Amino acid sequence: MYRKFKLNSKTPHSSEELEFEWDAATGSFRGSGAPEVARMIEHAMREGVVISDPYPSPYEIADPRHKAADLAVVLGQFWILPAELARVHPEPPPDNTPPGGLN
């Protein structure tokens, strides 16, 4: 079952919106923003890690086409997440920087 999303850019000088529909069961996307979502997922999967909020937090991702938490991390880099995705965005990994160290 497809769910519809409309996200606003985090960049204040951009009025762009990202609109797409997502079916988590099949891992498919459709709509005007689907190519952009696919491009972001492709890049994230090649890297295996996404740096996202709170910056610079690294998140390992495995399957953003089917897992809402992974999709939230990928999209949350550049877009304001709707409540449905914001709820499942994982907590940032613990900071392993030693006291007095630099990140």
pTM of the model: 0.87
pLDDT digits (tens, 9 = 90+) for 41-93: 999 999 999 998 888 889 999 999 999 999 999 999 999 999 999 999 999 88
Residue 29, pLDDT > 80, answer yes
The pLDDT, as a whole number, for residue 98 is 47
pLDDT of res. 46? 95
- Identify the pLDDT of residue 12: 74
Exposure on the CB side of residue 20, measured as CA atoms within 13 A:
22
User: What average pLDDT does range 31-46 have in this prediction?
Assistant: 96
Strands 3-9 and 28-30: unpaired
Q: What band does 40 get if pLDDT is binned at 50, 70 and 90? A: very high
